[in-house]
Chains A and B, each alone.
Chain A
Amino acid sequence: MFAYLQVLNPIICLGINAFFHVTSFRFISKLGMLKSIVLGFLLGLFSLFLLEYLIFIKAGIAINTFLFNLTTNLIIYSALGYCYFHFINLGETARRIRILREIHESEDGLTEKEILKHYNAKEIVEKRLARLLDNKQVIYKDGRYFIGKPLILWISKIMLLMKILIIGKKSEFD
């Protein structure tokens, strides 16, 4: 039984993560999407440590085996938690998902012009600017935009570096 639990632990904790994310987002309006995702992740992480400790005590495994299993499951859970975060983010911000939804909701399909009437660059920029201003990643002063907190800027620079290293260009339009 403990062998099954050892393997399934990260999956169980991902389920706990998703459960607490959905319930906290739905029922605690103050939280918002990002904070509820973090809360879900932390509760899942806590459950992971708890289950690993339970297995260690009950199964009587050696300490170094316990540590390696814990490390492996931590990596699996963190990777799955990262994927879950991106899955939620896709629903929240991905353009392709939104375009698919618009086509799905139409009765008999949409022309390119009709798609752009429903969803276009103006809406994309407005939504993202609002988010960036809200999180203070960007500040608006004297009619101009400036970098505020640098987190998203660091992520942008890392992504740019990865683009250069992996696909050999800075932009898909190069």
Chain B
Amino acid sequence: MKILMLGLVIFFMAFIVHLALWKIRIPQKQTMALIKIFFVIFILGVPYFNFFSATVSFDINDSLDFFEFIHLILLYIALMLSYIITYSGIEADGPTLVMIMHIFQAGEKGLSREKLCKKMTDDTLVKPRIRDLTRDNLAYVCNGKYRLTKAGFYFIQIFIIYRKLLNAPKGG
């Protein structure tokens, strides 16, 4: 029970801190900022609550043992990754969700293909994502051409290898 409660409480605290900071100013590199917030709150939260629960029960043996600590890390990382991966859908406008909302807003009249395509352009769908790659240091510009950074190269290898494993074509 300790692991579950501690993991959920610290995760919830990190979420609240993230919300509070976002109200002050949304950082440019949002994913990196989220990782830092979750990491720092975990580093501060575990010893605090571990000590707090030990003193409240007056039993030092109530603190986490090695396996409980690893279990807690696993729980926290799983929750953190789930949130961060969901956040990427909040940060950027997903084309499918945008298309669905346009069709929904057209109501009973429906939406023509022409009107739909007018709303979905390279300026809204592709160019911002190209800019994201340079902002996140996955690509850089040299002589007017985009090239992969080392981080971008290794990052894309993961997907290329996994798509090969699935024998699946290029996505997008």
Query: Contact residues of A with B, CB < 8 Å?
Result: 3-4, 6-7, 10-11, 22, 25-26, 33, 64, 68, 71-72, 75-76, 79-80, 82-83, 86-88, 90-101, 103-104, 108-112, 114-116, 119-125, 127-129, 131-132, 137-138, 141-147, 152-153, 155-156, 159-160, 162-163, 166-168, 171-173
Give the residue of B23, B110, B112, B146 whose beta carbon is less than 8 angstroms from that of A103: B146
Write out, one digit per residue, whether chain B residues 107-127 have a CB within 8 A of any chain A CB (1) or not (0): 001111100110011101111
Give the secondary structure class of B's interface: helix
B19 in the interface, Cβ–Cβ < 8 Å?
yes
Residue contact B89 to A159, C-beta cutoff 8 Å: yes
B33 in the interface, Cβ–Cβ < 8 Å?
no
B9 in the interface, Cβ–Cβ < 8 Å?
no
CA distance A143 to B116 in the complex (A): 12
Give the residue of B148, B165, B171 whose beta carbon is less than 8 angstroms from that of A93: B171
B93 in the interface, Cβ–Cβ < 8 Å?
yes
Residue contact A91 to B113, C-beta cutoff 8 Å: no
Enumerate 25 A-B pairs (CB-CB under 8 Å) in ascending A order. Answer: A4-B67, A25-B166, A75-B75, A75-B78, A79-B81, A83-B81, A91-B163, A91-B166, A95-B125, A95-B129, A98-B172, A99-B129, A104-B153, A108-B147, A111-B144, A111-B146, A116-B122, A121-B121, A124-B126, A125-B95, A138-B99, A142-B110, A147-B103, A167-B26, A172-B93
Query: Contact residues of B with A, CB < 8 Å?
Result: 1, 3-4, 7, 19, 22-23, 26, 67, 70-71, 74-75, 78-79, 81-82, 85-87, 89-101, 103-104, 106, 109-113, 116-117, 120-122, 124-130, 132-133, 138-139, 142, 144-148, 152-153, 155-156, 159-160, 162-163, 165-168, 170-172
